[in-house]
Structure 1
């Protein structure tokens, strides 16, 4: 198995010479990172001594090891701690030794995870012949990933304000370099007010889209994906309301004014529609055909979706849409559906941070405007976009009942070609903005009305 006794002894020697290094070693390594029993035992005891406030020197360490019987049991050789402490190692090599130990630890964990995955695949042949192979392969991927998650080379969760400010400077310099090179670091939504205020969707952000039934939530998500794809951002949609063929039909309907989504039901009514359909097919294939992936996600587990996100992110996909989140499932048991949805939301939100991706989740609203699935969605997200029906104002009118009539308020009606997009929540930008939008449900189209058109209407 991958290991380096020289690196393990070298790291311990650096700690003896510079005891303050024990804090960094504690933050980045676990005792199991040391492959050899003797060095692992010494490291564990050094961690305990540091926690108890005992000076880290070889004499005190040898006494503790002897008193605990660890030398007698052969866990450490007599005087080995002294030999390591007195070895001629330069403390400046600490980082080098640390990385060597961590890399070999990672390889061992990876080997172990793959062995477990191979064992699971063999078990599938004997015990689970009737189950789907895809599910077993996903479980194998998760096993390997979980094996590696425990050995991330973290720089530490804590830092002084001075160090944080230095990190912020590095972040801004990297951001400015990308901007100067013409590289977009935020995914534009296609809504000018939102993009002007927010800049777009960040690559580690979780956005929520809600609205009542038939308000156009999927239309909004699809338009954002389409606009992002035209700007060169690769996206993937997990649809569990309609099949991917129908979802592709939505993009086609939004591409032309000659036909809408009903063409899938009754076919073409004339030659003009057929020609326009061919034009729209060609236009979409040539412009964004390779930038959007559509996945039939009905009945999928969130664990499988996150595993798929991890694979897609490696191939350059940066924007992921889950439509609807309420139809995802989880293998974990949480007692009730609301807690289950909170877990699902948390998994997707965590994925945006660990994978450096953007996730747009579509959810239903109750009549009172609250998220139907779980309140946790509103707490997990960086931005919450709400679609609202626009209604005509109530007016006084005469209503006839047979031979009689009376004055009363007429019922307000939904204006079908209008929607309001409300930024319900946004961390640091645009919260409270109300954006007037033109809407065409049959063509799966929604766009912000500019100020001039808003005034005219």
Structure 2
């Protein structure tokens, strides 16, 4: 099949000559016509429309002027007007013209990428993905208006399904108070967890991942900062309530070994996947997620951390690259119908203020993060800055942005020695019993 259809182009132009009001309904532009003469004719039709003049044989001949002879004279216009017996298939002919245009531009873009002589596979993949996304976006059929009756019937069915379904609505966060504020993490959302280094972002992520997996979800973790073995140390410590240092050195007491074996038998059954490849590009991450989603429909993705992901191609500055990654993560959430939770570093600006609770402006390197995110939660520990604070071992989860709900602060217990987070209303007796294996 060729990358143009002269017949479809003729049918579009002929239909407009037969029924001039179609010029107000079409979304085509002159450059989408392959035949040079057809581009000129359609361009003149657009000019007549914008000048609020009727499009007919006489006005079009006058508008074309001297160009008329180059196009084959008035006989060609007559041929066009007679080329379609009915305008009933106008939409289909319009679709063909648009599809052929997308194929031509796609092949031209591929030729440019080939001609650029790229020798980096990741950069090459990034360029190909950009081309594919652009063609996909432009070829997507636009549904247009939806009558409220149809929309509300669909809404009713969804609401009924939520009411009577056994499946949980949304993916749980680390704590019930945080769940109440955020409404949990929903599908097709990008959720940012941001803090300064050493506040507890990774531990918070691991607590979340473990909770989601225990609730029957599949979890994918991309750890660009820490190796897989360190994540296992931290997850086991939090699960068993054994001090992290004892896990790292292997110096476990007999009762701790028993707790470890019990946790081991539970954790190996979880659908939890870790990729600790350093320097991953966003294209590699999207490809891996797409494959895993085919195996596990109920999937949530965690990323540690956003600013370490490579854009996979050249950018004018660092802000543009981080913005590209942020937008790509949002697209990944939408196209796979999953929640994506990405950790993010905050700038040093936090340290310069008297109140060191983070703000939106502290997000490092790109305003796109704030724009793309559906929720943004900052982690803050007062004992990180003030050793004498009354809020020892308390972490504040500050929900600063929530596109589909409220904002506020949820407090949780932060047991740093275990890398464990717990709801604030858990009693000290309960925690003591857990540590002792009761």
TM-score range, shorter chain: 0.7 to 0.9
- Post-superposition offset of 1:356: 4.8
Q: How does 1:196-211 map to 2 (within 5 A)?
A: 196-211=180-195
- Inter-partner Cα distance in structure 2 for 1:99 and 1:54: 26
- Inter-partner Cα distance in structure 2 for 1:301 and 1:449: 38
Show the counterpart of 1:363: 344
Show the counterpart of 1:420: 396
1:431 aligns with 2:431: no
- Inter-partner Cα distance in structure 2 for 1:95 and 1:81: 21
The DSSP-based 3-state class of the residue aligned with 1:47 is helix
- Inter-partner Cα distance in structure 2 for 1:185 and 1:34: 48
- Inter-partner Cα distance in structure 1 for 2:418 and 2:150: 47
1:135 aligns with 2:122: yes
Greater mean alpha carbon deviation, residues 189-198 or residues 176-185: 176-185
Deviations 1:13-45 (A, max 9, x none): 44334434334422xx34444344444443333
Contact 1:438-1:447 at 8 Å conserved across structures: yes
The DSSP-based 3-state class of the residue aligned with 1:91 is coil
Counterpart of 2:378 (choices 382, 386, 403) is 386
Closer/same/farther in 2, CA of residues 414 and 184 from structure 1, 3 Å limit: closer
1:449 aligns with 2:424: yes
- Post-superposition offset of 1:385: 1.4
The DSSP-based 3-state class of the residue aligned with 2:381 is strand
Residues matched between the structures, number: 415
TM-score by length of 1: 0.73
Closer/same/farther in 2, CA of residues 170 and 208 from structure 1, 3 Å limit: farther
Show the counterpart of 2:75: 79
Contact 2:329-2:340 at 8 Å conserved across structures: yes
Closer/same/farther in 2, CA of residues 72 and 306 from structure 1, 3 Å limit: farther
- Inter-partner Cα distance in structure 2 for 1:114 and 1:339: 23
C-alpha RMSD over aligned residues: 4.1
- Post-superposition offset of 1:349: 4.1
- Post-superposition offset of 1:265: 3.0
Deviations 1:273-319 (A, max 9, x none): 44544543442232224xx34343x4445566566666666775853
- Inter-partner Cα distance in structure 1 for 2:322 and 2:372: 12
Structure 2 stretches of 5 or more lacking a match?
A: 432-438
- Inter-partner Cα distance in structure 1 for 2:3 and 2:160: 39
Closer/same/farther in 2, CA of residues 373 and 147 from structure 1, 3 Å limit: closer
- Post-superposition offset of 1:209: 1.3
- Post-superposition offset of 1:329: 4.6
Contact 1:387-1:421 at 8 Å conserved across structures: yes
The DSSP-based 3-state class of the residue aligned with 2:300 is strand
- Post-superposition offset of 1:423: 2.0
Structure 1 stretches of 5 or more lacking a match?
A: 395-409
1:153 aligns with 2:140: yes
Higher strand proportion (structure 1 or 2): 1
1:91 aligns with 2:87: yes
- Post-superposition offset of 1:242: 0.6
Counterpart of 2:364 (choices 370, 373, 394) is 373
Show the counterpart of 2:45: 46
Higher relative contact order (CA 8 A, sep 6+): 2
Deviations 1:375-407 (A, max 9, x none): 723444222212232559x9xxxxxxxxxxxxx
Closer/same/farther in 2, CA of residues 144 and 411 from structure 1, 3 Å limit: closer
1:16 aligns with 2:3: no
- Inter-partner Cα distance in structure 1 for 2:141 and 2:76: 30
- Inter-partner Cα distance in structure 2 for 1:306 and 1:16: 47
Counterpart of 2:97 (choices 97, 101, 117) is 101
Show the counterpart of 2:434: none
- Inter-partner Cα distance in structure 1 for 2:258 and 2:342: 35
- Inter-partner Cα distance in structure 1 for 2:76 and 2:398: 68
1:192 aligns with 2:168: no
Deviations 1:192-234 (A, max 9, x none): 3343454322333222212343322222223333333344544
- Inter-partner Cα distance in structure 1 for 2:142 and 2:265: 49
The DSSP-based 3-state class of the residue aligned with 2:70 is coil
Counterpart of 1:245 (choices 225, 229, 245) is 229
Greater mean alpha carbon deviation, residues 101-110 or residues 91-100: 101-110
Show the counterpart of 1:401: none
The DSSP-based 3-state class of the residue aligned with 1:97 is helix
